[in-house]
Amino acid sequence: MDVAGNYSQRANYTFYAPWKPGIAPIFGDTDGDRIPDIVTPDAAGNLRTLSGNNDPARAITATAASAPRNGVNDTTTSWADYQITHRGTLNEAGALDQLIVHNTGDASLKKHLYLIDNDGTGRYDQYTKIPLTRQKSTGCAVVPSSGLACPADRPFAIDWSQVTQVIALGTPDGELTQNFPATPTEPAQTKIISQTSLLTVEGGRLWLHDASELKWNEVNSPALLIPTAPGTGSWDDYDLINPGPANGVTKTPGLTDAWQATLWARNRTTGDVFAYPITRTADGKSDFSALTKPNGGRLIDTGDGLTAAANPRIGAADFNGDGFADLWAINTSSAITVFSGGTATATPGKVDGFTGLSVMGDATTSASLRSNQVPWQCVDAAGGPRAGAEISVYTWGQTKQHEPQMRVGLLSRRAGGPNPEPSAI
């Protein structure tokens, strides 16, 4: 009821309290709502955090001007010029994800790989950007079942300028959290104690950069090449995806069970998605043998039209909390589609395919309204957030309508797959 005594229709509002000490953190969560997030730049170059419970007022989590730049005279570089990845932290006491970012165009900025720290509330423009040290390379990762030897020819640049892709993979040995007792200055807390590793693509090859065990917020030395088997293609033809432990639990006699990270990769031309599990040797070392053949992954998605041309941004996270990683894609119209992961073998956590899709909204809007009663509809500001923006209602399978002060669109299916985009009016 307003001050004039007028009643409005009752509506439910979903909200969350920020991260509470003692509550187990969620890998992929950046803002403390215990739901994984998509962190991506908008059309203005600001950094946005998108999730099912995102407060529209907090959608912008770093301004465009806060992106790493070439000194005070650089006024144009923004987050839109960076590849952005996150899963866990490079330290052993985190509760919310850090970001790893790499410039995609500027020759000077490309030499650096930056760690962007979380301020504890999901903001990424409060602390100094940390350039990660480029370590030397002296060997290869463990790949015993591949039959491959570590090649003598391992070109490795002195800086990060040759990196074409980077992902925060998660922890190859297994992701872990731990309860910490209260101290005189902090309450009891549950924190992430396993450190994320990074995977980079350089010259079509995969390089593993583990987190340093001696210095927080740094990568370990040496960097390790994951050799590629001859005749199996190049990683330049795939987009790396970090779903976390999406192959179920690893059980090794005499060793503690481990939820090891898995690599997914999207074939940029066909849109098919493949899984490459990281396993473990009998003596407990992480085995990267499945990552030695780009074209040898286990097919987990096909026919959905998820090509790089149609869907430039792609990633994974367990949005619904069912223990299975989901696949998300953002198409050229900024529509976000989520494909729910599932298993055909009743193996907890192992994703064999995807059972359905849902519309998460528009990556450029400041708010995306979705109904619990009508889950196939969403409401967004047409063309992105701005003063005077029209409101668009996107839905499945209904004809276009037109109402005063409201622009109603249609979510149509792309040729070759169901990824939605708003139609023209």
Question: Do 212 and 219 contact (CB within 8 A), yes or no?
Answer: yes
Going 71 to 72 to 75 to 80, the CA torsion angle's sign is positive
Write the DSSP assignment of 26-59 as a string of letters: -TT-SSSSSS--EEEE-TTS-EEEE-TT--GGG-
Average the pLDDT over 271-283 and give the result: 97
Q: Pick from 61, 14, 21, 17: which is nearest to 38 by CA?
A: 61
Q: Pick from 159, 151, 148, 29: which is nearest to 99 by CA?
A: 29
Question: Do 61 and 51 contact (CB within 8 A), yes or no?
Answer: no
Higher pLDDT, 410 or 216: 216
pLDDT for 415 beyond 60: no
pLDDT above 70 covers a percentage of the chain that reads 79
Average the pLDDT over 338-350 and give the result: 94
**pLDDT at 67 (0 to 100):** 97
**pLDDT at 390 (0 to 100):** 53
Question: Do 356 and 363 contact (CB within 8 A), yes or no?
Answer: no
Q: Say which residue the tokens 């962190």 belong to.
A: 39
Average the pLDDT over 227-245 and give the result: 97
Higher pLDDT, 231 or 390: 231
Instruction: Identify the helix (H) or strand (E) that includes residue 280.
Output: strand 279-280
Instruction: State the pLDDT confidence band at 187, using cuts at 50, 70 and 90.
Output: confident
Q: What angle do CA 227, 233, 234 make, to 5 degrees?
A: 70
Question: Do 343 and 351 contact (CB within 8 A), yes or no?
Answer: yes
Q: Is 398 left (phi over 0), alpha (psi -120 to 50) or beta?
A: beta
pTM for this predicted structure: 0.81
pLDDT for 423 beyond 80: no
The order of strands in the sheet holding 238-244 is 238-244, 262-267, 273-277, 298-301
**pLDDT at 378 (0 to 100):** 61
Distances (CA, A) of 302 to 82, 270, 299, 305, 340: 28, 8, 7, 8, 14
The per-residue pLDDT for range 126-166, each reduced to its tens digit, is 999 999 999 998 899 999 999 999 999 899 999 999 999 99
Average the pLDDT over 296-307 and give the result: 96
Within 10 angstroms of residue 155's Cβ, the number of other Cβ atoms is: 10
- Cα distance between residue 122 and residue 29, in whole Å: 9
The per-residue pLDDT for range 79-122, each reduced to its tens digit, is 999 999 999 999 877 789 999 999 999 999 999 999 999 998 89
**pLDDT at 367 (0 to 100):** 53
**pLDDT at 400 (0 to 100):** 29
Average the pLDDT over 163-187 and give the result: 91
Quickly list H helices, 57-164.
none
Higher pLDDT, 404 or 98: 98
The token pair at 344 is 């055909």
Higher pLDDT, 101 or 53: 101
The per-residue pLDDT of the chain, averaged, comes to 83
Average the pLDDT over 280-308 and give the result: 96
pLDDT for 299 beyond 80: yes
Instruction: State the pLDDT confidence band at 362, using cuts at 50, 70 and 90.
Output: confident
Question: Do 328 and 336 contact (CB within 8 A), yes or no?
Answer: yes
- Cα distance between residue 92 and residue 275, in whole Å: 27
Beta pairing partners, 113: 102
pLDDT for 386 beyond 60: no
Q: Pick from 310, 328, 331: which is nearest to 318 by CA?
A: 328
